[in-house]
Amino acid sequence: MSPGGGDAAGWRLISGEVVSAQAETGSCAPKKPPGPKPYVLKEKQRDYIRMRLRDEPHAMLRAIQLELAERGTKVSYGAVWNFVHADGLSFKKNSHRR
């Protein structure tokens, strides 16, 4: 067996079984990477975040995350951050924007 987990015949060890990569997929080519994940936030939650930031532009994302949890939608801080930045709702708070 080669150091990469396979031998010259194209065999590899998967979950304790020896399986031919070619028999699995018909090709020895590597699998394609997965595409982008869909947003966890549904349109209702996105609208709430937009409204919240429109009413209070300096609202903290952690506070919005907690408010969503109180409304029954438990999401990560990263999900809120990703949406806010992808939607163009975030900006650096500096003296020129006040």
Q: Which amino acid belongs to residue 83?
A: F
Whether 25 and 48 share a structural domain: no
Three-class DSSP category at 2:
coil
What is the per-residue pLDDT across 42-97, written as a single tens digit (0 to 9) for each?
Answer: 999 999 999 999 999 889 999 999 999 999 999 999 999 999 998 988 876 665 55
Whether 48 and 6 share a structural domain: no
Q: How far apart are CA 49 and CA 74, in angstroms?
A: 14
For residue 40, the model assigns a pLDDT of: 81
Q: Which backbone phi and psi does 43 adopt, to 5 degrees?
A: -60, -35
Q: How far apart are CA 89 and CA 52, in angstroms?
A: 11
- The residue segments making up the domain with residue 65 are 36-98
Q: Any idea what the CATH number is for the domain that residue 94 is in?
A: 1.10.10
Number of domains in the chain: 2
Whether 12 and 51 share a structural domain: no
Q: Which backbone phi and psi does 25 adopt, to 5 degrees?
A: -120, -10
Q: How far apart are CA 57 and CA 18, in angstroms?
A: 57
Whether 91 and 69 share a structural domain: yes
For residue 81, the model assigns a pLDDT of: 94
pTM given for the model: 0.58
Whether 67 and 98 share a structural domain: yes
What is the per-residue pLDDT across 19-55, written as a single tens digit (0 to 9) for each?
Answer: 566 666 666 677 778 887 777 899 999 999 999 999 9
For residue 16, the model assigns a pLDDT of: 46
Whether 27 and 7 share a structural domain: yes
Whether 64 and 83 share a structural domain: yes
